[in-house]
Structure 1
Amino acid sequence: MRHDDEIETPRGPARIRLDPPTATGGTLLVLGHGAGGDVDAPDLVAVRDAVRDAGGGVVLVTQPYRVAGRRAPAPAGHLDEAWTAVLAELRRRLPDTGRWVVGGRSSGARVACRTACAVGAAGVVALAFPLHPPGRPDRSRADELGTGLPTLVVNGDRDPFGVPDPASGVEVVVRPGERHDLRRDPPGTAEVVRAWLAARGWLS
């Protein structure tokens, strides 16, 4: 049953929307939103529904700055601090979870990558990973994907923020006709994520 709640963090309250796994020991996918967006983004909702329908659990996390009504994102360190606090509290509340996978879209994907090892994640799902600012390929963020964990990147081929190259442990799926918002075919994007999780035995 879906459960909405708030979790206190050092940066203010974060909001969670929890759909728990259908069975004890199941996989829980924790997803964050983009810099100026929210957890109702079409790709996040589609991924949630696909994972939930396959028996997995999903938590959609709203960062404290958005809960407070601000659109301008908090500094990266503040985002990471709040995210880490949310994961710690979720682990306390859900001790029977078998596997934790973290991810998000755009800025949320970066946060998940930067903190994945610290929160004990098994893998990362990065939607619309912003490889570089538009028009600035010299400012690559590719190193953030080097978590050492199995990582799925799903980007559109028309994304002005660029598309990362595959690397060791990093699988990149390029969605034709999609831009940064991945709005053209959310169910197709969700199926890519579901299939990747299932291929690792993380979903039934």
Structure 2
Amino acid sequence: MILAHGAGAPADSEFMERLSEALCAEGVATVRFEFPYMERRREDGRKRPPDRAPVLLSRFRDVIRAVIEDPARKGDRIFIGGKSMGGRMASLLAAEPDLAGILAGCVCFGYPFHPPGKPDRWRVEHFGRFAVPVQIIQGTRDPFGKQSEVQDSPLVQVDSCGIYWLDGADHDFRPLARQPETQEQMIANAARIAAGFMAVRG
């Protein structure tokens, strides 16, 4: 899986490290990369807003191309995915017809259905155009799209993708304090769901 980071944290953030390790434990190799704005942040330490979508998608496509052309990856089934914004970019590529014969599927970890507190600004206009199978793994308390909001919205075409709900989890898959599960266990569960999806769809 080519795995993209979210808007505010780099490819080696604690969440991304844990997710990659959990996917590896499920037999899924991951390739992580960073978008241009995050690379510049590493160089000078200055926080920046994400690049615009065309720049993000161009970098994502470059990484897909590099992975496909890597002799060590020959014969591998290629999935794309990402955390939050990275997952949204992956889903946009999953709706591109020219990638249908290249990608086996897409997994989004904490999809940003809308900005927090703004459920009138949905980011699902491309859901009806997916060219490859898509799986979303979402916390029921995620402020970017709670279970009640997503299930009640007529804009979300849930038949175009699968949505698995992590009970009690927030955007970073942190559970409620009263829950017996830890964040690490939630992430491990997300990795199991992703691996199961990939095994069936690949």
Match 1:174 to one of 165, 187, 190: 165
Q: Distance in 2 between matches of 1:40 and 1:187?
A: 19
Deviation larger for 77-86 or 159-168: 159-168
- What is aligned with 1:86? 63
TM-score by length of 2: 0.76
Q: Does the Cα contact within 8 Å between 2:107 and 2:194 map onto a contact in 1?
A: no
State the shift of 1:199 in Å. Answer: 5.1
Match of 1:134 in 2: 116
Query: Quick one: structure 1 residues 198 and 175, their matched pair in 2 at CA, closer, same or farther if it must change by over 3 Å?
Result: closer
Counterpart Cα distance in 2 of 1:92 and 1:111: 21
- Structure 2 residue runs of 5 or longer lacking an equivalent are 42-46, 152-156, 176-182
Q: Deviations over 1:143-187 (max 9, x none)?
A: 334414222211222221114447224121222222222244233
Structure 1 residue runs of 5 or longer lacking an equivalent are: 1-28
The whole-number CA distance in structure 2 between the counterparts of 1:193 and 1:152 is 12
Deviation of residue 84 (structure 1)?
0.5
Percent identity over paired residues: 29
Q: Give the C-alpha shift of residue 95 in structure 1.
A: 4.4
Cα distance between partner residues in 2 of 1:98 and 1:124: 15
Match of 2:21 among 49, 56, 69: 49
Q: Which has the higher helix share?
A: 2
The 8 Å contact of residues 127 and 160 in structure 2, kept in 1 or not, is answered as no
CA-CA distance at 1:132 after TM superposition: 0.8
- Map residues 75-114 of structure 1 onto 2, 5 A cutoff: 75-93=52-70, 94-114=72-92
Is 1:197 aligned to 2:195, yes or no?
yes
| TM-score (normalised: structure 1) | 0.75
3-state secondary structure, aligned to 2:189:
helix
Q: Indicate yes or no: 2:127 matched with 1:151.
A: no
Per-residue deviation, 1:81: 0.8
Number of residues of Structure 1 aligned to a counterpart in Structure 2: 175
In structure 2, relative to structure 1, the CA distance for the partners of 1:145 and 1:72 (3 Å cut) is same
Report the aligned-residue RMSD. Answer: 2.3
Letter of the aligned partner of 1:133 in structure 2? P
Which structure dedicates a bigger proportion of its chain to strand?
1
